[in-house]
Amino acid sequence: MTVNPARARLLRDLQAELEAIYRVEAQADVAQFVIDRARWEKLSGTGASEELVVVQGDDDLQVGLFLDDDVYAALDGAGGWTHRKLNAYLQALEGVSHFVYLTHRARVPRPVSRLELELQAEIDKFVLMLLHLGDAARRHGARALRRTLFEDVSFRQGLPPDADERYRKANALASFYCRCLEAKYVVKSSIEGLLADLRRMYRLGAGEKLSYAACGAAI
């Protein structure tokens, strides 16, 4: 599928930001893996506005990123940030986060669970938005950002029980971990420490990653 140049640039910019933060290279262009609604409905059609579809072939993985037209429309609009535009940005970021993490794991190679993908995407939302803030705003706004992303949230109705549980667990673990990051690095304006912690976390195996994320529960 050929993607509108402005939309392709948005996805590539998100990919570049994530790769820079974690010092990884997907070695694949996310914009080349975008699929349209017709293709998505054949492969999945879960009703989500964003989904990274993964199909296991005989020798490889087939990957496609779907974003609803409403997501692009909200991001295409001129003007400042609105709730609708922010929500669309986070959905696009989630899809790109899944893509970068999955392709990184495939290169290692290391298996990856759906819970890991969701957890990493939740962390990425917090981190990218945090790093876009100035130093003072970062220190004073981290708590409000965590509240917006992890506390003042609702989950899509009608999800299968296993998916609902996975989203809720990823949200809780990301909240714990980001609270840990805030206490250890953000309040001290230690960006290097923050990035080092994030990079270490990114490379942990599944069990280690989930345990490490829960460190914030003790703060």
Q: What is the pLDDT of residues 6-34, one digit of tens each?
A: 889 999 999 999 999 999 988 899 999 99
Are the beta carbons of 35 and 64 closer than 8 angstroms? yes
Are the beta carbons of 102 and 117 closer than 8 angstroms? yes
More confident of the two residues 47 and 63: 63
How far is the first Cα of the chain from the last one, in angstroms, to the nearest whole number?
46
Q: Check residue 212 and give its pLDDT.
A: 92
The residues spanned by each domain of the chain are 1-81, 113-219
Closest CA to 139 of 175, 174, 181: 181
DSSP code at position 130? H
More confident of the two residues 78 and 114: 114
Are the beta carbons of 189 and 134 closer than 8 angstroms? no
- pLDDT higher than threshold 80 for residue 219: no
Which pLDDT tens digit goes with each residue over 55-85?
Answer: 776 666 788 999 998 998 898 866 777 888 9
DSSP code at position 30? G
Region 142-153 average pLDDT = 91
